[in-house]
Structure 1
Amino acid sequence: MLRGAAGAALAAGAAGVLPGVASAEGAGRGGRWGLRVPKDKISIQLYTLRSVLETDLEGTLDALADIGYRKVELAGTYGRSATEFRKLLDARRIRATSTHAGIDGDLDQAIADAKILGNRRSNVAWANFGTIAEWETFADRLEAAGKAYRRAGIKFGYHNHNQEYQTIDGVRPIDVLARRTSRRNVSFEMDLYWVVAGGADPVREFYRNPGRVEQYHVKDRAPDGGFADLGEGDIDFRRIFRATRPLEVEEYIVENDQPVDALKCAETGYKYLTNLRF
């Protein structure tokens, strides 16, 4: 039912129609701005904290737990084995529900490590090609990898940057990826900053493939186009979350590619998401 409603809303202009849907749902929870991001859906990409994780892994994980994080997304295990890193997380009641991993290496080993770490999802973090033919070949490889992950009981997806929204010979790579992969095997982890940087509207991109965007990277943009801590930039997350609420994503992942103060960024992001009403 929701997918049908979403499709009808998109035809009429999702950005203008869907906010009313979410507002009506929130009427019994504090009025028009009664909706919020559930705490159990908030995570953080540990790439944001790479500088401090490299110098004090355990202390940084302690700080994340103290802030309130119970989920993280991995980008490596900082010299620890999958088993060792899982023990560090378990001791702090943190789950690594998601990870970034490539498909160029040993896929069986990546899947085995993901199982040890307790990952429910694995996402390819980066790709960039100069021709549509290369993007098509890459999409086919994503589909094959996604099938292997699905058979192992782990969801598989792709994380965008801005190049996927730039046309090559009149075709956008993101549309190639959507067309040549299946909903069953490949989902999308939408990085909101990079969608905006690519000149696209996150709400419209969400409804181009309704229900297929299952995670957000919640990353803000500074007025000069750089990175900002959440709530200190110019991306309208309230509008995005409200408009996409009918097909709500499973995780809202805090990220900043170049934080000035990584732990402050993590705390600011958590507080922003828990306090936001939409």
Structure 2
Amino acid sequence: MSEERDERPMSRRSMLRGAVGAAAAIGAAGALTGGLAGTAQAGTAAANGWSRGRRVPEERIGIQLYTLRNDLQADLEGTLEALADIGYRNVELAGTYGRSVREFRGLLDRYGLRAVSAHVGFDGADVDALIADAKVLGYHYADCAWANYDSIGEWRDFADRLDKAGKAFRKAGIKYGYHNHAHEFRKIDGVRPFDVISQVTSRHNVHFEYDLYWLVDGGIDPVEQYYREFGRVRQFHVKDRKPEGGFADLGTGTIDFGRIFRDTRRGHVSHFIVEHDQPTNALRTAEVGYDYLTDLRF
């Protein structure tokens, strides 16, 4: 944690975090160490449009609010303020926690936060209503967060529906995508479901939000997979992995984000979204993640 941030007046973030402040500082320091180690591994290569020093542009850093779902349920306004105090300006939505879309947009505006993306399921939903909500909340990217089927035929039917939904979003000026887990890369009758999604949907209608944790967990090299779908990958979920498996705060696990970001800088990834599915202290996880991404050089 920087001195500048420590010198700010006490906010609700301080009250929310209480005794975990020292632990957060230690975690942030560990993240910095991990970032420096990643820099040593990353080497030097042309930035090709990236910020000077080969770093993740801060304006592209965000956090998936699912990471903080329990905190948001307990204290919505205090948690949003805490994220702003950490330094976040962008968030990816996962619901509005009992508030109307207009009320939630008002809270985001109050704390200087901007919804750049949202996880929005389309199956069984009124797509026109989803688009109307997106217009109020202000995001221009949305993603289907989950699908799972037993047969390739079912995956093909899903992909066809996904493409139709993506077309409707595109006509409304919103980019619609698919967020992976690991199971889409496990073959069914010799075919990977992810490849079905890629082949059936149009790149004009459906982009990809790569969850880097789930790619690695599924035995997939994120860089190789990025170039298999070059130009179509517009978002990263940046989530670390423990050596034995399971989720880790950024910079404390085994995923070499420096290598991934360096080798995928060609193209255009619009969002680098911090996420942790099962944090023990979500605000600490959020701060460690933000500090790691802003400190990382590659």
TM-score normalised by L of structure 2: 0.83
Provide the C-alpha distance between the structure 2 equivalents of 1:24 and 1:109, rounded to a whole number of angstroms. 44
Q: What SS does the aligned partner of 1:23 have?
A: coil
Question: Is 1:94 aligned to residue 116 of structure 2?
Answer: no
The structure 2 residue matched to 1:221, chosen from 237, 241, 266, is: 241
Provide the identity percentage.
63
The structure 2 residue matched to 1:108, chosen from 109, 121, 128, is: 128
TM-superposed deviation, 1:248: 3.4
TM-superposed deviation, 1:93: 1.2
Q: Do 2:86 and 2:290's aligned partners in 1 also have CA atoms closer than 8 Å?
A: yes
Partner residue, 2:78? 59
User: 1:176-187 alignment to 2 at 5 Å?
Assistant: 176-187=196-207
Which residue type is aligned with residue 241 of structure 1?
Answer: F
The structure 1 residue matched to 2:212, chosen from 173, 188, 192, is: 192
The structure 1 residue matched to 2:60, chosen from 15, 29, 41, is: 41
Q: What SS does the aligned partner of 1:72 have?
A: strand
Distance 1:38 1:29, change over 3 A: closer
Question: Is 1:130 aligned to residue 150 of structure 2?
Answer: yes
Question: Is 1:237 aligned to residue 292 of structure 2?
Answer: no
Cα displacement string for residues 182-219 of structure 1 (whole angstroms, at most 9, x for unaligned residues): 11000000000001111111001000010100000000
TM-superposed deviation, 1:265: 0.2
Partner residue, 1:160? 180
Partner residue, 1:269? 289
Provide the C-alpha distance between the structure 1 equivalents of 2:147 and 2:117, rounded to a whole number of angstroms. 19
Distance 1:29 1:116, change over 3 A: closer
Q: Do 2:47 and 2:265's aligned partners in 1 also have CA atoms closer than 8 Å?
A: no
Q: Do 2:184 and 2:194's aligned partners in 1 also have CA atoms closer than 8 Å?
A: yes
State the aligned residue count.
Answer: 255
Which residue type is aligned with residue 95 of structure 2?
Answer: G
Q: What SS does the aligned partner of 2:264 have?
A: helix
TM-score normalised by L of structure 1: 0.89
- Runs of 5+ in structure 2 lacking a partner? 1-41
TM-superposed deviation, 1:25: 3.4
Question: Is 1:253 aligned to residue 273 of structure 2?
Answer: yes
Distance 1:138 1:29, change over 3 A: closer
Q: Which runs of at least 4 in structure 1 moved beyond 6 Å after TM superposition?
A: none
The structure 2 residue matched to 1:24, chosen from 46, 57, 66, is: 46
Distance 1:83 1:228, change over 3 A: same
Partner residue, 2:100? 81
TM-superposed deviation, 1:24: 2.8
Provide the C-alpha distance between the structure 2 equivalents of 1:211 and 1:151, rounded to a whole number of angstroms. 20
Provide the C-alpha distance between the structure 2 equivalents of 1:55 and 1:46, rounded to a whole number of angstroms. 13
1 or 2 for the larger relative contact order (CA 8 Å, sep ≥6)?
2
Provide the C-alpha distance between the structure 2 equivalents of 1:95 and 1:207, rounded to a whole number of angstroms. 30
Which residue type is aligned with residue 190 of structure 1?
Answer: Y
Partner residue, 2:190? 170
Q: What SS does the aligned partner of 2:237 have?
A: strand
Cα displacement string for residues 62-92 of structure 1 (whole angstroms, at most 9, x for unaligned residues): 0000001000000000000000000000011
TM-superposed deviation, 1:29: 7.9
TM-superposed deviation, 1:110: 0.8
Which residue type is aligned with residue 137 of structure 2?
Answer: L
Cα displacement string for residues 88-131 of structure 1 (whole angstroms, at most 9, x for unaligned residues): 00011111110001112111111111110001111000000011
Partner residue, 1:205? 225
Partner residue, 2:19? none
Q: What SS does the aligned partner of 2:45 have?
A: helix
Q: Do 2:185 and 2:218's aligned partners in 1 also have CA atoms closer than 8 Å?
A: yes
Q: Do 2:143 and 2:177's aligned partners in 1 also have CA atoms closer than 8 Å?
A: yes
Distance 1:130 1:217, change over 3 A: same
